Every structure is written in structure tokens, then in C-alpha cells.
A and B are shown apart, each in its own frame.
Chain A
Amino acid sequence: MNQNMDMSTTPVSFSSPKTTRSSSAPDGAAPLVVNADKQGKPIIVVNNLHKRYQIGRTFVHALRGVSLEVLPGEFVAVRGPSGSGKSTFMNLIGCLDHPTQGTYWLSGKQVSQLSSQELARVRNRLIGFVFQGFNLLSRASALSNVEMPMIYAGLRKELRQRRARQALQLVGLGARMNHKPSELSGGQQQRVAIARALVNSPSLLLADEPTGNLDSRTSVEVIAILQALNQHGLTIVLVTHEPDIAEYASRQITFRDGRLVRDEPVANPRDAQAEWAIIAKQNIDEAL
């Protein structure tokens, strides 16, 4: 019962752009803007990307020449069976790895040439990660977890806490900031992770199977947040093997055997927020 009530809390609680702008006066918080790039200029440009691994004596050619552009504000679902190279692609896009061959431009920066120190900076400032297993620090509170990227960015403590609170309020966890991950439900943990991904105002949010550990209702809840963020201008790349999750995106790309085999817009993306409203209502009905 308690859990149902939890689930009925709003997944996305930021107000419409207009109201935010008018109510942005306190503590000098200027209107909040996504690190949006110049109109139409692609946020991701990938050209003929290759990645080869060596596992023991065998060479694995995980990516065999992938070229792709992602425009700002897109919601791209990356699909493909396991071993298709989508995880490798994700690691490269997320600047966790260097390509063996090919170029990768992120927000006008050629990151395929950067040193690992510069890559860490790119991960910190330009990319927000959401993982399948949430990847929160279990001993730290939700607030501390969300603060973490800002520590590495080198932000002042007051600012860190203010932004962490804002981000948590944004994902509807304003009342649970001091809870540890173990005291939160899976959906709530993933919302903390999303808040953490947002705090440094990234250009790109990378979600690697964000619903993989969640039941279908909670999945809708999390996707609803991602969709809402996307509608506010955040570019999202989501890796999933679940076809129905990919239907929430505005564009689907499919990998097979290290190649991009399909790239198509989704004609009518499903509306997670509308679905969530129905689910939330059902939850309340069940609870009553």
C-alpha cells in the first residue's frame, strides 16, 4: 500500500517553461537552460567508428564502421540483440573508451582524440549517465549521490546542495533527499540516478537499459521522466533490448553484428506520461 502511494507521486514535477521563468527569482537562479547547441548543429557526429578488442587470443571486432548523427533534442533508442555492439557503441559515445578507428564529435568537440583526463572532463560536464543497475553509492544519501558529479566538477558546497535539491525535486523526490538507496524503491533509485545525470547540465543523457531492473509499471514511470526531460530540450540516447521501451523514443536505430542496420524515426512515439497517469490512477484505485 505504501509502495502504491509512493508510485503515485509525480514522476516529473517541474512546471511548464513559462512558470519556471517567472518564478526563477529566488537565490539568483537564472532561467535554467540545457546546454543546448546551436540550432540544427548535430550534438553527436560519429564517422566510421571501429572498435576491436582482444580477449585472450581472440580478436573481437565489436564495431565495424558505424556512422551516425544525432541532432539536439532527439530521443534516440538504440536497439539490437546482445553482442550486436550496442554496448560498445554506448561506451564510446559515453567517452568511457577510445575507438580503434573513426572519429566522434560531441557538441562540436572531437572527443576521439582526447586524453583520458580530458575525457573525464567531458563525461563530467557534457554527459549524464543512467545505468541499468542504478549505480548509486549505497552508503550515501540520495542528496550526496546527486552531489557527486558536481564534486568532481569542482563546485562550491552551497551550490552543489542547492542544485542537488533542485534536481531531486525535479524528479519528484524532494521529500526523500536524505534517504539511502536501500530505503528507496527501484523506480525511486533510478530517479535519483536521473537527477545525478542532470546536475551538471549535460548536453546528452545516456541511458543504458534504464528499465532493465524495473517492472513494467515503474519502467513507464522512469521513461515518462526521460520523455519529459526530452521535451524540455535534453538530447537522450537510450539503449534497450525491449521493443516496447524503444517505442517511446522519437527515433530508433538498430545494431547487428557491429553495424548499424536500421535507422528510422518513430512515427507516433508512445506517450509515457499519459500512460503513467493512467497507471497512477489504477494504483490509487487499487490502494483504495
Chain B
Amino acid sequence: MNTTTYQGKDAPSSASTSTSGPSPQRHSILPPLKKRDFDRAGKLGSNISIALEALWANRLRSLLTTLGIFIGVAAVIAALIMTQGVGANITNTISSLGTNIITISPGAGSSSRGFRPPTESSGTTLSLTPGDAQAVAKIAHVTAESPIISVTEQVVYGNQNWNTRVQGVSTSFQTIQNWTIVQGGWFSSSDYQSARSVALLGQTVYHQLFDASGMNPIGQNIRIRDQVYRVVGILDTKGNGADDVVFVPFSTAMDRIKNSTYIDQILVQVDDSGNIDSVQGEITTLLEQRHRIPKGNADDFNLTNSNQLLQTANQFTSLLTYLLVGIAAISLAVGGIGIMNIMIVSVTERTREIGIRISIGAQREDIRSQFLIEALILSLIGGILGMFIGFLLGFAITNLLAIPFVVTVTTLLMPFVISAAIGVIFGLYPAARAARLDPIEALRSL
């Protein structure tokens, strides 16, 4: 060390004797910069690494700042996955009922074709008769129809009983609603014509009545309103409460359960979903004639098809989506404000650093992009973390509710778009503030 000291001293001081005075010396300090030394495109990379370095220096604060965005994005994603799952579920259920089905129900309809949700009065207005069902069956393109009578009854087997929906339907009801049978068979047309007391049990009813005894249900007698019915078949599960049902022949139900000449619904199957509209028009004309409804007066029946149901369901799910995403967006805005707040604090805190950077030649746009990139990185980290947690949450919720786990491109891209937008929107002001600083003032600050 000593030796270097003296060596280092000798050279310049001896030089000083020869180079006194203001004559410029072409001496070597550092090489002058040449054009090829510059790589302006690499500046963005440098700005990113400067921003990362600054964020890393305040690790805890950075992490806490991302929390707002993190929670917001997680909430948005979870909400999206949930509503999309619910939507898919409803769509599946409706499709499982068939896409080429027209439902005729009694009640105040309108002559205009437009979906009206079934109102409470729809069940009480009695207008449909079995004759209507037979007449409708004769319309072209109608492949099957089934009148429906629906009551809620106590079903008893041995000492087990269960309150369920008992529906009187026709033999073609099985194909209209795509029911599969796991045991036994659907009631025959002779059962139907002779109005025999036979019944088909949905999975829920089957389990409630027969699980305790473990008996083979086929051929067993159950009682509905103190009348004996023989079980002829067990239906496969459809899920979503559709399994809590007992089907009996429509004729039997008319005679022994309902005691009425009116029916609750008519299901009409059309050969192709493209013919639904024309068939619906013909049914309307036919029923208006049969019910003697003068032109311009309101109909006493309603027609709905599964497409309309799907539309309604979609309206409902998108409404649900807007609602949930709207609520989640509030937390996103709060997160964004959090980022802005921290960035402003950070700019104030680093005033001197900004002054140093400006004094050694940083452009104002360098300073602006440095802070903007910091805000962007903060919100993007939050967004990506939030996306993962959102997917986990969504997965858990959909599993819990037994609804489909749907991931769309929107859900995948949204976190990036949202968090980038928030980073830019809420980072712009602090960054502009940093870029506006006067270097002299900034250098003077502590």
C-alpha cells in the first residue's frame, strides 16, 4: 500500500512541472465516447432495472402497495369465474331440456311475441285443456307433445315419506326431456290409455324412499295421496333439483290426482330448432281460435321456448357479472389510489435522487418513465398474483357450488389489461410530478 501511494503521487506531480498553465493537454483520463458506443434502445431496459431496484429497496412497502390491486384483481377474477360457471350451469340445464321445445303455459300472455317471465298468476289462470294438447300435436313439424299436470304431494313407501313434485305426463315426455332410465322402464302406452297407477321415480325420491330398506324399487307399491302406485322405473340423475320428481301417466293424474279438466303446461317438441318460430306462430293461431280470443285481445296462454329461456338466463348472468365485477372494481380503484399515494410519497422522498439524476443528465422523460414503470410493475405484480389467487378462489367456489369451472380468454387477459391500465392511470400523476421537479430545488432538499 505504501509503495502504491508514492508511485501514484510521483507521476502526476512530476507532470505538473511540465504542464503548468492553461494549455490543453490531450491526455488520457477516459476514452472519449464514439457514436457506436450508444445503444438508445437499451434505455428502456435500464429504466426497468432502475425501477426494479428502487422497488426492491422498499420491498415491504412495495408488497403492501400491490395488495390493493392484488385483492381487486382476485375478486374480479373470482367473480367472473363464478358468474360464468353459474351461466354455464343454467345453459347446460336449459339445453338438457332440449333446444327445440316450446312450452305452452296458461296465463295472461300477449299477442306480441316476446318473452314474459311466468308470473304468479300463470298457475291460477286455467285455460289449457287436454284437447288443446291433442290439437297442437297435429301441427306440422311437431314431433311430440306432452300435457303436464303438476302437484306437490307426499309420497310414502313403508315408513319412509317424502314431499315431492308429482307430474302427470305422456309417454313421449321421456324423449322430449331426454330422460334416461337406470332401472325398469317408462310406462307403456297401454298404461297410459288405461290410466294405470304406475310411477317413475327421480333419483332424489328413490333415495329418500328406498335407501333405508335397500329394497329393489321395481314393482314396489308406493302411496300418493293415499292411493297405491306401482313403481315401474327409476330415472337417471339430471342434477339441479330436477331429480326430485315423480312421473305418473297424464291420464292417471287427470283422474286420480288433479280432478280438473284443465292442465298446467303443454310441452311441444319441434323436429328442428329452425322451425320453432313458425310452429310457435301456428300454435298461437290455433289456440287463439280454440279459446275464441278476438283479435287484439290478450291471449290466455304463454309460449316460451328454450332459446328465450337461454336469453333470459344470459341476461341474468350478465347482470350478475356486472354487479359482482362492479363491486370488485371498487377495490381495484382503491388499490389504484393506494399505488398513486405511495408513488407520490416515493417521489417526495426521493426528490434528492431525482435532482441528482436530472443534474447528471437524465431527461425529464427518463424520470417520468422511471416512476411510471415503477407504478406499472407494482400493479402488474399485484395483477398477476391476484390472477392466481382469483383462479384458486374461483376453482374453490365452483367446486363448492358444483358448477362448471369456466376459464375464458377474457378472464386470462383481463388481469393484465386491468392492472396495466391502473398502473398507467394512477402512476401518471406522480410520474409527471417527479419529471416536473426543478433540479436546483430538488438537489437542495434533504
Q: Are A24 and B364 interface neighbours, CB within 8 A?
A: no
- Cα of A136 to Cα of B361 in the assembled complex, Å: 14
Q: Is A210 an interface residue (CB 8 A)?
A: no
Q: Is B24 an interface residue (CB 8 A)?
A: yes
Closest to A196 in B: B360
Q: CB within 8 A of B28: which of A20, A156, A276? A: A20
Shortest distance in angstroms between B93's beta carbon and chain A's nearest beta carbon?
59
Interface string of A2-45 (1 = CB under 8 A from B): 00010011111111110111001000011111111101000000
Known: A72-B22, A151-B46, A154-B39. A15 touches B360 (CB 8 A): no
Q: Is A187 an interface residue (CB 8 A)?
A: no
Known: A8-B1, A13-B4, A273-B16. A201 touches B360 (CB 8 A): no
Q: Is A135 an interface residue (CB 8 A)?
A: yes
Closest to A233 in B: B25
- Cα of A238 to Cα of B16 in the assembled complex, Å: 19
Point out the residues of chain A lying under 8 angstroms from B440, CB to CB.
91, 96-97
Q: Are A31 and B28 interface neighbours, CB within 8 A?
A: yes
Q: Are A117 and B364 interface neighbours, CB within 8 A?
A: yes
Q: Is B362 an interface residue (CB 8 A)?
A: yes
Closest to A31 in B: B28
Interface string of A230-242 (1 = CB under 8 A from B): 0111100000000
Q: Is B11 an interface residue (CB 8 A)?
A: yes
Interface string of B177-204 (1 = CB under 8 A from A): 0000000000000000000000000000
Point out the residues of chain B lying under 8 angstroms from A280, CB to CB.
5, 9
Q: CB within 8 A of A96: which of B26, B33, B359, B363? A: B359
Q: Is A172 an interface residue (CB 8 A)?
A: yes
Q: Is A199 an interface residue (CB 8 A)?
A: yes
Q: Are A120 and B361 interface neighbours, CB within 8 A?
A: yes
Q: Are B24 and A200 interface neighbours, CB within 8 A?
A: no
Point out the residues of chain A lying under 8 angstroms from B353, CB to CB.
137
Point out the residues of chain B lying under 8 angstroms from A123, CB to CB.
358-361
Q: Are A9 and B361 interface neighbours, CB within 8 A?
A: no
Q: Are B9 and A273 interface neighbours, CB within 8 A?
A: yes
Q: Are A201 and B30 interface neighbours, CB within 8 A?
A: yes
Point out the residues of chain B lying under 8 angstroms from A8, CB to CB.
1-2, 5
Q: Are A96 and B439 interface neighbours, CB within 8 A?
A: yes
Point out the residues of chain B lying under 8 angstroms from A173, CB to CB.
none
Known: A24-B28, A33-B28, A33-B31. A276 touches B366 (CB 8 A): no
Q: Is B295 an interface residue (CB 8 A)?
A: no
Interface string of A216-243 (1 = CB under 8 A from B): 0000000000011101111000000000
Closest to B352 in A: A135
- Cα of A24 to Cα of B192 in the assembled complex, Å: 108
Q: Is B37 an interface residue (CB 8 A)?
A: yes
Interface string of B6-32 (1 = CB under 8 A from A): 111101111110011111111111111
Q: Are B24 and A16 interface neighbours, CB within 8 A?
A: no
Q: Is A209 an interface residue (CB 8 A)?
A: no
Shortest distance in angstroms between B324's beta carbon and chain A's nearest beta carbon?
42
Known: A10-B8, A123-B361. A34 touches B46 (CB 8 A): no
Within 8 A of A (CB), among B195-240: none
Q: CB within 8 A of A198: which of B29, B40, B46? A: B29
Point out the residues of chain A lying under 8 angstroms from B1, CB to CB.
5, 8-9
Q: Is A121 an interface residue (CB 8 A)?
A: yes
Point out the residues of chain A lying under 8 angstroms from B14, CB to CB.
16
- Cα of A159 to Cα of B32 in the assembled complex, Å: 12
Q: Is A124 an interface residue (CB 8 A)?
A: yes
Q: CB within 8 A of B26: which of A5, A97, A163, A233? A: A233
Q: Are B15 and A9 interface neighbours, CB within 8 A?
A: no
Q: Are A172 and B42 interface neighbours, CB within 8 A?
A: no
Interface string of A269-281 (1 = CB under 8 A from B): 0010110110010
- Cα of A34 to Cα of B32 in the assembled complex, Å: 7
Point out the residues of chain B lying under 8 angstroms from A15, CB to CB.
11
- Cα of A111 to Cα of B353 in the assembled complex, Å: 25
- Cα of A272 to Cα of B4 in the assembled complex, Å: 17
Q: Is A166 an interface residue (CB 8 A)?
A: yes
Closest to B8 in A: A10
Point out the residues of chain B lying under 8 angstroms from A16, CB to CB.
11-12, 14-15
Closest to A129 in B: B359
- Taking Cβ atoms with an 8 Å cutoff, the residues of B that contact A are 1-2, 4-9, 11-16, 19-33, 37-40, 42-43, 46, 50, 53-54, 57, 352-353, 355-364, 366, 439-440, 443
A-B contact pairs, 18 of them (CB 8 A): A5-B1, A9-B4, A9-B5, A16-B12, A16-B14, A21-B28, A96-B358, A96-B439, A120-B364, A131-B443, A155-B37, A167-B30, A198-B29, A228-B12, A233-B27, A273-B12, A273-B13, A277-B9
For the complex with contacts A17-B27, A32-B31, A123-B360, 10 further pairs of A-B residues with Cβ separation under 8 Å are A14-B12, A16-B12, A32-B27, A39-B23, A121-B361, A123-B361, A131-B443, A140-B53, A170-B30, A198-B29
